[in-house]
Structure 1
Amino acid sequence: MNKTALRALLKERRELIAPEAHGLSRPTGRGRRARGLSQQQVDELTNRAVDTYNRLETGRYPNPPADYLRQVARLFGLNEQEWVSLCRYAGIGDPPGPLHPSSGLEVPGVWQEAVDGITHMAYVTDASWNLLAHNRHFAEMYPGGVPPANMMRWMLLDTSARDTILVDWREGWAPLVLPQLHAALAARRDDATLRQIEREVRADPDLGPLWEAGGAHIHPDGDERPIHHALRGAGHVSICAAQPLTAPGARLLIMIFRPGPRKSHARAPMLRART
C-alpha cells in the first residue's frame, strides 16, 4: 500500500465533486467548509458504514474489496489509468477488470494520426478485436486494399486468411491466435462480439478441437510469422504489440514485413536500460 499516493489521489478527486450533484448539501454553520464531498457523504453514497471511506483515504483499510474500490472510482469519475493506480495504491495489485463495461471499445482519435505516421504495417483494435484505426501499409496487405472489420474473426474464420495471406495457418497461426481469444473472453465474459466468434470457432471442424485443447500462447509481442502480402508477395512479419493505456483490452499491432522465407537467425536481444 502506498498511503501517501492513495490519499493524494482520493482527496484530490473527492474535492472536485459537488455534493449538490448527488442531491446532498454542504455543511452549514461555523467552521471550515470541506471542498467537494465530505468523507461522510462518500459513505452515504456508497452505502457503507460510517468511517469506511475515511479508513480508505487515510490508508487504514488493508486489502479493501475490489467492489468497494470500484464504487469509489465510479463515484469519483476516475478513468482507466486512475483506476489501475487506485488499486495498486490500495495494495490489491492490478484491478480484476476494467472500470466500466464500455472501456476498451474506443480510443482517442489521435491514434489514427499516430498510426498513419508509422512506416510499417500498423493497426489498432478495440477489446472486441474490431478494427478502429489502420495505416495504408496495413491495408495494402489485403487484395483490393480493404482490411477486415474484425481481426480476430478474420484470422480464425476467413477463407482468404486461411488459404492465402496467413501462410501455414493451421500450424503457424491458428494455435497461436486461439489462446488470445480465450484470454479476451476471460477478461470480458459478456462481450457479445467475442461470444459470437467463440460459437463460430466451436462449430468449425478445424478450430473446434484446437479450442477445446486450449493453449498457453497468449500475446503476439515479438513473434515472427509467415504471410503472403498482396503486393509484396511471400515473406514474414515480426509483430510488436502494445496497449493504449486508457482502453484496457484494446491493442496496437505493428507488423514489420520482411520479404522471402524467414532465415535462421537469432532474434534481436531484449532492450534494457544501461547501468
Structure 2
Amino acid sequence: MASSRSSFAALLRTWRDRLSPADAGFPVTDARRAPGLRREELAQLAGISVDYVLRLEQGRARNPSAQVVGALARALQLTRAERDRLFRGAGLLPPRDGTVGTHVPPGVQRLVARLGDVPIGVFTADWTLVRWNSLWSALLGDPSVLPAAERNLARALFGDGPAHASMPLVRSERGPDAFAASIVADLKEAVSQYPGDPGLDRLVRELREASGAFARYWATETAAGHTSERKTVGHPEVGDVVLDCDVLIVPGADLRMVTYTAATGSADAEKLDLLRVTGGRTVARLP
C-alpha cells in the first residue's frame, strides 16, 4: 500500500509540473518560479483543498476516492492511458467501458482554457458539467460551489437539491417544455448507450420519483435531443443577454461542448465583454 501511495504521489507531482498554467486558463507572469501548475491552482481546478493536494503529493493521504482521482485527472489534462495509470496508482480500477465517460481530452481542455471570450461548458452524456471556463462562471455562476453530483442539468431542471435551487433565469426560444423534453430525450439515449451505468440508473430513478414532469416526459415518445438555439440569460448585473447557444459534439468522447456567443459589435456582445472583465457573480448556476 505504501508503494502504491508513493507511485500516486510521484505521478501527481510529475504531471502537475508538466502542465502549462496557460493551458489550464491561468495567467503566466514573471513571478512564477516553476513552469507547471501551483498546488493551489490544481486544487482549484479539481475542486479539493490545497492541504489535501499537499498530503496526496507527500503520500500522507490514504485511499482517495474515484471521484477525486477523476477530478485530478481532468484537472491535469491527462490522456486516457495516463488517467488509468493515476487510478491504478491510487489502488483503484480505472473507469470501465460501458459507463458514461467523464474524461475530457487534453485538446478540449486547452480550447476551454484559451477561448476566454466565449462562455464554454463541457458536459457528459448524462448532462453533468465537468469543465468550464471563467466566462461561463461569470455568465451563469460558479459551478464549483455546487457538490459535484449536483452539477447536472437534469437535476437543475427536475431535482429538488442545490442545482435546482440555483437554476438561473434562462429562457429558450423553443420554450421551457421543449427544452426540458429534449434533456429527457438525451437521458433516454444515454440509458440506451450505457445500460449498465449505475450512476446514470440512479439519476433517472431519483428524478422519476422526485419530479412528476420528468416522469411524464420519460413516459412519452422521445423528443428531439437538445440542440443549438437562441437563449436569453437574465443576469443580475447586466440584465438580459440574448445569445446563440450551440451544442458541439466531441468525436470519440461522447461529450458536449456548450457555447454562448453574440454577434460582434452587438449590445449583447458588449455585455459579455463586461462580464469577462468584472467576473460576474459567483452564485452557482447551470444553463
Q: TM-score, normalised by structure 1?
A: 0.49
Larger radius of gyration: 1
Pick the structure with more helix per residue.
2
